[in-house]
Amino acid sequence: MANLLAIKPMSKLLNEAKNEGEASLKRSLGPLNLITLGIGAIIGAGIFVLTGQAAAKHAGPAVMVSFIFAGITCAFAGLCYAEFASLIPIAGSAYTYGYATLGEFVAWIIGWDLVLEYAFGAATVASGWSGYFVGLLQDFHIHIPPQLTTTPGTVLYQYHDRWMQLAALPTGVDPSSLPHAAGIFNLVAFLAIAVVTAVLVRGIEESANLNTVIVLVKLAVVGIFLFLGIGYILHNPAHAHANWTPFIPPSDGHGNFGFGGITAGAASIFFAYIGFDAVSTAAQEAKNPQRDMPIGILGSLVICTVLYILVSGVLTGLVNYRALNVADPVAVGIDVTGVRWGSILVKIGAVFGLGTVMLVMLLGQSRVFFSMSRDGLLWKWAGAIHPKFRTPWISNIVVGAIVAFMPAVLPIDRLSELVNMGTLLAFAIVCAGVWILRRRSPELPRPFKTPLVPLVPILGIVSALYLVWTLPTLTKEVVIGWLILGLLIYFTYSVKHSKVQAMERGEDLG
């Protein structure tokens, strides 16, 4: 009978962290790379897509409070991630931390869950990227055949030389009088994932440097939006006051708006905060992880939380929250200012911004695959390192090929709902792990220590599980189905090839 609670010894983890050979990942990332890696993942779909949807569907102008609530929950988890990432600086994130504290079975569940999280996360972002990119091309009167820009069965209508969905048509326009076409395959989103996969295979250093440049570009664009939006609000305070009133819309009786809507909004936008989790997956590629990982994790989290709060406040001041359930809410907001070049700049920023999110998501998933394979829990090919590029190239290609088809055939709303549970469960596992390891091994040298243990881990666990409880039932059902598939793999393959269990039996699997 397999030892489901077998724990990976800290001594083995620390030895893996010191491995600098050709079969290991290349340590090439500094603190700036790690901070921008986190910002690259966090500032993307959250600002450019989810802010408007959370306001329109759940919280109204109080979406600002939703971001504060989500940010506080992330702060608890971020402090715990920072301790683990400095103590165990190897790839794998919550999977590795769970293996060291809660045992192999819990580690498998969270690792398999992270695979789903990153896959659907990258696919969600690719779908949003496609929308902004096609819209930007149409601004310059460049048209891709509409059948290749959206998912199968989605109908697009041509209005004023632009192809758009029914919900985006102006009020009073009869769609039956317009040319229309049904989607066949979202080739744009498919190719986006293919290009990002090729960049990751080429090398993490090149990927991180490219990400740093793009992050600076999109931060400049967010800054322009805030500058123009705040300027408009200061000159038109009555307009903003009307949009912000009531700040917390009355509850609709279905968990939306009111206080329940604020927490539902926080759960719906949690996907936006996955970035600092992705930073921890790059721990084995950090030059000085004991110092730089806490800087990267907490630095990116603080910067992005402040930006989310500011953007959501300005956006709901510019546009009534009811009109923000669109694919490009920030572009809608900037249009209100009357600055025509602003809309184009925002779309350019979204194209670059969402591109970096795809990069970090696929980076994170391939590194979790790599870690699980090295532990014997997944097939050997998932841990194969390219002899020249020193990247898990087969894992990158296989993951990229699968993920590329998701946004090509599934709509963005279906994809985004499946990401948040994985993020929240990972946060709860990491918080529990810090508390357990403090009790079990208090003597371990911790370059960064989570303050107020066990209070901070307990608050992280409770807040994460509360947000899980508010997620849609369909999301929970899909995740359960995914975990059942994972358990079949675990009991038919992983328990036979687990290096930790072999070590406990006195065997050597290499």
Using one digit for the tens of pLDDT, what is the confidence trace for 26-73?
666 777 778 877 777 677 767 777 788 889 888 999 999 998 888 888
Q: What is the mean pLDDT of the chain?
A: 82
Residue 357 belongs to domain with CATH number = 1.20.1740.10
Task: State whether residue 25 is helix, strand or coil.
Answer: coil
| Banded pLDDT at 167 (limits 50, 70, 90) | low
Could you please report the per-residue DSSP string of 200-263?
HHH-HHHHHHHHHHHHHHHHHHHHHHHHHHHHHHHH-HHHHHHHTSSSSPPP-SSS-SHHHHHH
Could you please report the per-residue DSSP string of 428-473?
HHHHHHHHHHHHH-TTS--SS--SSTTHHHHHHHHHHHHHHHTS-H
pLDDT of residue 502 exceeding 70, the answer is: yes
pLDDT of residue 263 exceeding 80, the answer is: yes
Please state, in angstroms and as integers, the Cα–Cα distance from residue 288 to each residue in 21, 241, 279, 282, following that order.
17, 48, 14, 12
Q: What angle do CA 267, 268, 270 make, to 5 degrees?
A: 65
Looking at residue 286, the DSSP 8-state letter turns out to be B
pLDDT digits (tens, 9 = 90+) for 203-256: 756 556 666 777 788 788 889 899 999 999 999 999 999 999 999 999 887 778
From its phi and psi, is residue 162 left (phi > 0), alpha (psi between -120 and 50) or beta? beta
pLDDT of residue 265 exceeding 70, the answer is: yes
Distance of CA 236 to the CA centre of its chain: 35
| Banded pLDDT at 1 (limits 50, 70, 90) | very low
Of all residues in the chain, the percent with pLDDT exceeding 90 is 18
Alpha-carbon span 405 to 403, nearest angstrom? 5
Q: What angle do CA 485, 490, 496 make, to 5 degrees?
A: 150
Amino acid at position 405, single letter: F
Query: In the chain, what is the straight-line distance between the N-terminal and C-terminal CA atoms, in Å?
Result: 22
Assigned domain for 166 exists = no
pLDDT of residue 453 exceeding 60, the answer is: yes
pLDDT mean over 160-175: 79
**Which residue, 263, 230, 283, 211, is CA-closest to 36?**
211
- Backbone phi, psi, residue 142, to 5°: -105, 125
Structure tokens at 315: 């956006």
Of all residues in the chain, the percent with pLDDT exceeding 70 is 88
pLDDT mean over 75-100: 79
pLDDT of residue 266: 86
Handedness of CA 62, 63, 68, 73 (dihedral sign): positive
pLDDT digits (tens, 9 = 90+) for 372-396: 888 888 888 888 888 887 788 888 8
Assigned domain for 99 exists = yes
pLDDT of residue 327: 66
Assigned domain for 96 exists = yes
| Banded pLDDT at 353 (limits 50, 70, 90) | confident
pLDDT digits (tens, 9 = 90+) for 88-142: 776 656 787 788 778 888 888 888 887 877 788 888 788 878 888 988 898 888 9
Assigned domain for 122 exists = yes
pLDDT of residue 206: 57
Q: Quick check: 158 and 166 in contact, CB under 8 A? A: no
SS3 content of the chain, % helix, strand, coil (to 5): 70, 5, 25
Assigned domain for 353 exists = yes
Environment class of 459 (CB within 10 Å of its CB; exposed 0-12, middle 13-18, buried 19+): middle
Q: Quick check: 397 and 197 in contact, CB under 8 A? A: yes
Please state, in angstroms and as integers, the Cα–Cα distance from residue 131 to each residue in 120, 184, 185, 198, 316, following that order.
17, 15, 13, 22, 22
Element (H, E) at 111: helix 104-139
Which structural domain, as residue segments, surrounds residue 479? 10-151+186-504
Task: State whether residue 153 is helix, strand or coil.
Answer: coil
**Which residue, 393, 61, 74, 405, is CA-closest to 258?**
61
Helix boundaries (H) for 269-323:
275-281, 289-318
| Banded pLDDT at 337 (limits 50, 70, 90) | confident
Q: Which residue in the block uniquely carries the two structure tokens 């986190």?
A: 38
Q: Lowest mean pLDDT: which of 6-15, 312-321, 429-438?
A: 6-15
What are the CB-based long-range contacts (under 8 Å, 24+) for 237-242?
Answer: 239/317, 239/318, 240/317, 240/318, 242/320
pLDDT digits (tens, 9 = 90+) for 198-216: 888 887 565 566 667 777 8
- Number of structural domains (the chain) is 1
| Banded pLDDT at 351 (limits 50, 70, 90) | confident
Please state, in angstroms and as integers, the Cα–Cα distance from residue 108 to each residue in 89, 243, 430, 495, following that order.
19, 47, 14, 11
Assigned domain for 37 exists = yes
pLDDT of residue 249: 92
pLDDT digits (tens, 9 = 90+) for 395-406: 888 888 888 988
Q: Lowest mean pLDDT: which of 22-36, 187-201, 427-441, 493-507?
A: 22-36
Please state, in angstroms and as integers, the Cα–Cα distance from residue 39 to each residue in 47, 274, 359, 506, following that order.
12, 10, 12, 44
pLDDT mean over 4-29: 66
- Backbone phi, psi, residue 13, to 5°: -60, -45
Assigned domain for 179 exists = no
pTM of the model: 0.76
Is the pLDDT higher at 140 or at 85? 140
Please state, in angstroms and as integers, the Cα–Cα distance from residue 452 to each residue in 74, 82, 195, 291, 377, following that order.
16, 14, 44, 20, 34
Assigned domain for 157 exists = no
Residue 107 half-sphere exposure, CB side, CA atoms within 13 Å? 32
